[in-house]
Structure 1
């Protein structure tokens, strides 16, 4: 209900229908002074209730609750005064408004006026000064029109004091109305734009109707019209309070900033209106009291507008100076940064590139513009790019990182760390901003550390860590194909180390590793476990194929090898174990036991031959 701005709210609908019913009631002569003050008192009670709920609303910030607290006090003062006047009317005191009622109403008006003026308008310095100058300009224009059309001819005679009091009341009410409008336009108002405009309309109508109804009209006007002129604006104000209660929601800072950036046209319209009024006053005849009042008002409003424009010119000069400084600052950063910044469309086409493009990619920035980054990306990195783009589409405005390879002008690919932010919804950018830093050296170091952590330094084969990682990966494979494991221990290797030295032994290990690698197919992996022990992981290989490969490995390893101009030979005991993925530890144990059994059998066979 709240977010629908009261479109079907029964209370708001009742206020509208009630206001419409007042028209035939008073124009038909069915309602008099007592009925008018009774309706006025009921509306005051509704104002107090609505304002009290706003002052305690959880979505209203603290400064807004203070404002609505002041409105509660003002509405209570008006309710007390109108209630007192209602009782007097029923007691037969007539239609004469009492001093008590006037005092309470004026007190309420002053409370609202102070709350409006004390509420922060936003901005600072000359920006706040311009807000006050705008307020003064519009108020001066209102005063000029009141003077010309109502006050100049009427503020004379035996009731001049009463007329001046009514005119002052009207000015105060108009001041409140404009204060409300200024809060709405400044973006810091504790109420919505619709509720503020509606409330301003009600306050302004109350001001004019009070002045017209009390002293600035002739006595032969039907009293029903005067009652309606006083009650309808009060209905409008009550409706504005109810509308604000329906529209109250948590504060949106972005919306407030947008409203503050919107200039007010009210002061300029006020100036135009006063100038036209000056022409009309001079056309009607020679200078008199009314004409002099308009002329003085025109001079005052011109001075206010000139002051406002001078303030704006000074701010514009400072703004231009600041923009020039920021532009030079930005140009210096762009020209001298070592990172490449590009703005690309959603299809990957480059719209802007910084001069660092020549250092990072060997391409001038102007040549990079208009090309596609997808064509420059390494094909193996395109899945990463697509995931990157999909994430940004789901999280617009947020930054994310990736590491991909882009083609350099020399044809090689360079690793780059990318930080990209999708600003395609920003009307000033309309693209994806990418900051790219050359990460080739860091990537090379990373790959080398990764290789050292998972590879045997002597033979280049996988080490035990990488072997275990591959066993775990095989266990998580979706298919349940058989897995075989070979464990290899070299026979006679210790004798070569003792007789020819460790350097010769290292060369033997390297040659054996090369021969192992030559016997393996795709997906199969050889690892050195340490010393002269090797392992071979055979995913998708059954027992028969594994046993055949073990025989070939033993035969190839036993072939003579030339080391330091000497022909050396070693043997190989190979243990075989087969099973299912997920049984890696069992396969290692069984292959190890089979390898030692074969080694024992080989030694026993050699002993029997002797």
Structure 2
């Protein structure tokens, strides 16, 4: 048990109870009548969902004799008759509420007598050993694990006023049937009168949960927020009441949250991952949110959302995503991100003018052989930073692996491409201090330009690679250009 109100409470229901199984299936349920420490009680079970699966169950119980619903039936359940009246029984036929409080906990009907009744139908049933009573029953849709509204009266009292034979008898039966159907509204009195009492218990439990629990009306207005909001979002829970649910989301995710709430109202359940909720100070935190529609359960009377904070998972995802597309040594974009940016260029119509520079460090192996691999790694880190500093914000500097780098120059022409190549060579050649020694590294750069609007990026890359090898064959420590790429495959 995560929390209880009062703290000393022990649960009389568990995994074997039908209401518990209903909640484990993702729906709210209610227990059969049970005697707990000499008091007749029933219990409502409400699931708390995460990723579509219940991770906790909120259990709310009440004393049936002290329930507002019992008070309603005690005053209006006789339907004007001198003796007899209405009772609400559970799926086993045991009285939950009754015109006669002494009937609570007693069985009025066997389950077999009630099993074939349909919601919206009131029918006279013949009970074994109850030939001296008229019994009419109708199922109650509000009780998810089953329940019935039962009218019962002694036969002499029921037919006392019959004066015109069968016609009057049928009219009396019809009147009672109608009263039984209308009497279903008595349950609404039970739920409405119990909301203030049960919601206090519900809030006491939910305020102890680490996840933020939110209840909204069908229009999206917030009716309840657990106190975890203050811890995770930095604002008191009361500050959210009355606001529209999308308004508490980070602005970029407001539409996502609105659509999510609509799905929950339509389908009964919904889930959304990686949603940002606004925090104090214009910040945000990441959440996975599950919703279940409990508008038919007045203890909640709305759509219940469980917001599970995923900051650690999000940080891990961001770190893994960064590692997948960046070189661990230099922090530069890697070959995978280089290819992805070329794909973005290829998808643009018309393809913009761009250039690719292939950079290969000359005789870098001698640095590793002479000074060691740690010194070689430091040289690569410094050169990577220099290459990044020599370009502009529109340029993408990547490390392809080993001692090879590449630069994508966006929105450029031949003059600028060669100017950038010269600056890169100059930057690379500056002496580097490693382990107290000065190291100088040279490089060869191949330049390829896409001047045609239909130039394939892949062809530009191949031309840059080819230009780089031609420059090496010509003597290294230089740049070389390939002819502009114009629509070649």
Band of TM-score, shorter chain: 0.5 to 0.7
| Cα distance per residue 1:364-384 (max 9 Å; x no partner) | 323554678777654xxx232
Structure 1's 361 and 575: CA in aligned 2 closer, same or farther, altered over 3 A? same
RMSD (Å), alpha carbons: 4.5
Q: Matched residues in 2 for 1:333 and 1:578: separation?
A: 66
Task: Find out whether 1:140 has 2:156 as its counterpart.
Answer: no
Task: Find out whether 1:261 has 2:184 as its counterpart.
Answer: yes
| Cα distance per residue 1:111-157 (max 9 Å; x no partner) | xxxxxx99973259994542x439x699526x4443xxxxxxxxxxx
Q: Matched residues in 2 for 1:119 and 1:597: separation?
A: 99
Task: Find out whether 1:446 has 2:317 as its counterpart.
Answer: yes
Which residue in 1 is equivalent to 2:211?
Answer: 339
| Cα distance per residue 1:72-122 (max 9 Å; x no partner) | xxxxxxxxxxxxxxxxxxxxxxxxxxxxxxxxxxxxxxxxxxxxx999732
Does the Cα contact within 8 Å between 1:344 and 1:352 map onto a contact in 2?
yes
Does the Cα contact within 8 Å between 1:474 and 1:582 map onto a contact in 2?
no
Task: Find out whether 1:567 has 2:438 as its counterpart.
Answer: yes
What runs of 5+ residues in structure 2 fail to find an aligned partner? Answer: 1-115, 122-133, 479-489
Does the Cα contact within 8 Å between 1:476 and 1:582 map onto a contact in 2?
no
Q: Matched residues in 2 for 1:433 and 1:540: separation?
A: 51
Does the Cα contact within 8 Å between 1:484 and 1:587 map onto a contact in 2?
yes
Task: Find out whether 1:122 has 2:173 as its counterpart.
Answer: no
Q: Matched residues in 2 for 1:328 and 1:424: separation?
A: 17
Secondary structure at the aligned position of 2:207 is classed as helix
Structure 1's 421 and 121: CA in aligned 2 closer, same or farther, altered over 3 A? closer
Instruction: Kindly report which structure 2 residues correspond to 1:358-369, keeping only aligned pairs within 5 A, or say none.
Output: 358-369=230-241
Instruction: Kindly report which structure 2 residues correspond to 1:365-380, keeping only aligned pairs within 5 A, or say none.
Output: 365-369=237-241, 377-378=249-250
Q: 1:453: how far off?
A: 1.2
Does the Cα contact within 8 Å between 2:212 and 2:227 map onto a contact in 1?
yes
Does the Cα contact within 8 Å between 1:474 and 1:539 map onto a contact in 2?
no
Does the Cα contact within 8 Å between 2:444 and 2:477 map onto a contact in 1?
no
Does the Cα contact within 8 Å between 1:458 and 1:510 map onto a contact in 2?
yes
Does the Cα contact within 8 Å between 2:359 and 2:446 map onto a contact in 1?
yes
Q: 1:407: how far off?
A: 4.7
Q: 1:539: how far off?
A: 3.2
- Which of 474, 480, 489 is the equivalent residue of 2:360? 489
Which residue in 2 is equivalent to 1:501?
Answer: 372
Q: 1:486: how far off?
A: 1.6
Secondary structure at the aligned position of 2:397 is classed as strand
Q: 1:444: how far off?
A: 0.9
Q: Matched residues in 2 for 1:463 and 1:505: separation?
A: 18
Q: Kindly indicate which of the two structures has a greater share of residues assigned to helix.
A: 1
Q: 1:550: how far off?
A: 2.0
Instruction: Kindly report which structure 2 residues correspond to 1:251-330, keeping only aligned pairs within 5 A, or say none.
Output: 261-262=184-185, 330=202
| Cα distance per residue 1:535-562 (max 9 Å; x no partner) | 1223333444323322221222122222
Which residue in 2 is equivalent to 1:290?
Answer: none
What runs of 5+ residues in structure 1 fail to find an aligned partner? Answer: 1-61, 68-116, 147-166, 188-258, 264-311, 606-610
Q: 1:396: how far off?
A: 3.7
Which residue in 2 is equivalent to 1:296?
Answer: none
Q: Matched residues in 1 for 2:356 and 2:171: separation?
A: 89
TM-score (ref. length: structure 2):
0.57
Structure 1's 507 and 416: CA in aligned 2 closer, same or farther, altered over 3 A? same
Secondary structure at the aligned position of 2:433 is classed as strand
Q: 1:493: how far off?
A: 1.0
**Residue-pair matches, total:** 340
Q: Matched residues in 2 for 1:430 and 1:127: separation?
A: 22
Secondary structure at the aligned position of 1:336 is classed as coil
Does the Cα contact within 8 Å between 1:397 and 1:421 map onto a contact in 2?
no
Q: Which moved more, 1:174-183 or 1:496-505?
A: 174-183
- Which of 379, 384, 392 is the equivalent residue of 2:253? 384
Q: Matched residues in 2 for 1:470 and 1:432: separation?
A: 43
Which residue in 2 is equivalent to 1:195?
Answer: none
Does the Cα contact within 8 Å between 2:150 and 2:180 map onto a contact in 1?
no
Structure 1's 594 and 178: CA in aligned 2 closer, same or farther, altered over 3 A? farther
Secondary structure at the aligned position of 1:578 is classed as strand
Structure 1's 261 and 439: CA in aligned 2 closer, same or farther, altered over 3 A? same
Q: Matched residues in 1 for 2:472 and 2:219: separation?
A: 64
Which residue in 2 is equivalent to 1:293?
Answer: none
Secondary structure at the aligned position of 1:473 is classed as helix
Which residue in 1 is equivalent to 2:86?
Answer: none
Which residue in 1 is equivalent to 2:44?
Answer: none
Q: 1:500: how far off?
A: 0.7
Which residue in 2 is equivalent to 1:590?
Answer: 463
Instruction: Kindly report which structure 2 residues correspond to 1:54-65, keeping only aligned pairs within 5 A, or say none.
Output: none
TM-score (ref. length: structure 1):
0.47
Structure 1's 392 and 555: CA in aligned 2 closer, same or farther, altered over 3 A? same
Q: 1:572: how far off?
A: 1.5
Structure 1's 563 and 471: CA in aligned 2 closer, same or farther, altered over 3 A? same
Which residue in 1 is equivalent to 2:226?
Answer: 354
Structure 1's 600 and 366: CA in aligned 2 closer, same or farther, altered over 3 A? same
Q: Kindly indicate which of the two structures has a greater share of residues assigned to strand.
A: 2
Which residue in 2 is equivalent to 1:471?
Answer: 342
Q: Matched residues in 1 for 2:136 and 2:463: separation?
A: 84
Instruction: Kindly report which structure 2 residues correspond to 1:529-548, keeping only aligned pairs within 5 A, or say none.
Output: 529-548=400-419
Does the Cα contact within 8 Å between 1:474 and 1:581 map onto a contact in 2?
no
